[in-house]
Structures are given as C-alpha cells and as structure tokens.
Amino acid sequence: MQKRTLGKSGLEVSAIGLGCMGMSFAYGPPKDRAEMISLLRTAVDRGMTFFDTAEVYGPHTNEELVGEALAPVRDQVVIATKFGFQLKPDRSPGWLGVNSRPEQIRKVADASLKRLKVEVIDLFYQHRVDPEVPIEDVAGTVKDLIWQGKVKHFGLSEAGVQTIRRAHAVQPVAALQNEYSLWWRRPEEEVLPTLEELGIGLVAYSPLGKGFLTGKIDANTTFEGSDFRSLLPRFAPDALKANQAMVELLAELAAKHNATPAQIALAWLLAQKPWIVPIPGTTKLSRLDENNGALDLQLSAEDLEEIDSAAAKISVHGDRYPEHIEQMTGR
C-alpha cells in the first residue's frame, strides 16, 4: 500500500483510508459485528493504516467496534475520531446540536480513549464548528490534550477558511476532513489553496459520492428509512435520474482503462494533490479491494483534462444535505 503524509504534520497514512461509519450507522441497520471486525483486520493485512470513526457514529458503537478490531494491530494503524456534537441522553442515533465547549472536548477525549482501547488518539477532529465557542478555545483545548499525551494531531471537519486560519494559529491543524469528489468540488474554490498555503492535509470523505459514483445507483434506487440518503436532496428520484450523466462519464473512462467507475473517481481524486487522502467507506471486502485498486491506476495529464472538461459540462442536481445540516458547514 502506498503512503501519503498529511500536509506538514508528519502524519503518514495509507494513501487510501477506510471510513468506518457505515458499519454501525447511517447506511441502514448496523452490520454484523464479527464480519466488520474481520473486514477491519483484513484491511490492515492489505496494508491499510488509516481508519476513521467518531463518537456520534452509532453513537459510540462505531468507536467500540474499531477499537476492538484494531487493538491487536494498534502499533500498525492511525485511528482518527471526532468530537463536537451533543448526543442524546438515551444514546439513540442523531444529536441535539453542536457542543465544543472545552469541558465537553475533554470529556469526549477521555471517553473515546476508552472506547477505542488506545492510550492516545492519533487524529482528533472537531466534527462541526460550534458558533458559540471561539475556535481559539477549541484549538487551545486540543493543544492541552496533545501536551497531556492524550492526542497526537488536531483536525477540523467542514470548516471555512477563516476558521482554519484562526485554529491553525493556536495549534497546527494536521488535516481538514471535507467532502470532496467529482460531484462535490466546492473545496477547490478556497479551501484547497488555503490548505496548500498552510501545509494542511485533506482527508476526503464521501469520495464516491455516498455510493453514487460507483455506478450501482440509478433513478429507480430506493433507500430505507434507516439509510440517511433517504433524506438527502441529491438522492431524490429526480436528482438521481438527472445525475446519471456523471456516472456515464465515469463508465466511459473506466472502459477505456479496464477499471471501474469507482476506481476512476478515486484515481482522479488522488491525482489532484499528493496530500489528499480519500477515505471511502465500505462493509464489503470486494469493495475494499476494488477501491484499493485505484492506486494502480495512473491517469495521464490528458485523462485528467478530459475528465475536467467533460465534468464541467455536467450540472449536478440536488443539494448535498438538507438546509439545517448544510448550515453547519463552512463556517
């Protein structure tokens, strides 16, 4: 497995990581625990070293799963988790709002350490910006946790450029986690140039468009109530039908390269910057191996130009999140 370093932080990870959320949360009912533990350990056997979770996934249960699965190989892996949501008292899915008060961050860090069965959190992200807490206080709290030996690196998720700059001035930000793919390219406008300037890595979540860019979803696909895509405007029937043009583009390029649409989408992302690391999620070994196959796919400058030119002519339909969730991003 190829390795990449997230910006100037010195944090080296596998060039493709594994998003673990869907094993416990958001994409239908939780998957079989034993099967997911086996998948996580097989991922390590395949050379993958970067695993992403959060306290809100489950909630808590995904951290517990990841912790149990990776405990035997702790010295071989980098585990990222997140704080920043106020969870429901009954531990039911969802959240009551954002909460990045210093005392809450410290509480979550201690709890995450126990659930993950680790002595230090490799990468600790603020999951969403809390408008009620100055980002300097957040960064300062994580800085203290780093000094205490509970955290190694500080990260942000879906933060705007001014927030990134203010946080980075207090405690260097190792990585920003942001949605980035061929059908969500807004980070290219301001975020990517800022990260390059400051030496911050980008961890790209939903690099396959929450499954859409794999080509396995069409206008007739339906999602059960426990699958959060049932709530996303971009996955409404009309939008799915309109957005097939993007999948058709990837399918054409995949045929040309003897690859799959998912591999083209990931190879395109990897070619953008050497400090970008995608974290596609999966619960199937076949998909894990397919995704990792993108590392063997070298897109030429001509290929990349062809993709950009064709993608520029495609208008993506539907907002990526409902308004109340979208308002929590980009501050």
Dist CA 93 CA 62 (whole Å)? 12
Tell me, what amino acid is at 108?
V
Tell me, what amino acid is at 95?
W
Q: Are 174 and 6 in contact (CB under 8 A)?
A: yes
CA distances from 10 to 33, 168, 207, 208 (A): 33, 15, 23, 27
Q: Catalytic: 205?
A: no
Query: Phi, psi at residue 310, to the nearest 5°?
Result: -70, -40
Q: Which of 27, 57, 180, 205 is catalytic?
A: 57
Q: 183: closest CA among 231, 239, 225, 127?
A: 239
Nearby residues of 327 by Cβ (< 8 Å), 6 or more positions away: none
Nearby residues of 101 by Cβ (< 8 Å), 6 or more positions away: 130, 132, 133
Q: What is the set of active-site residues?
A: 57
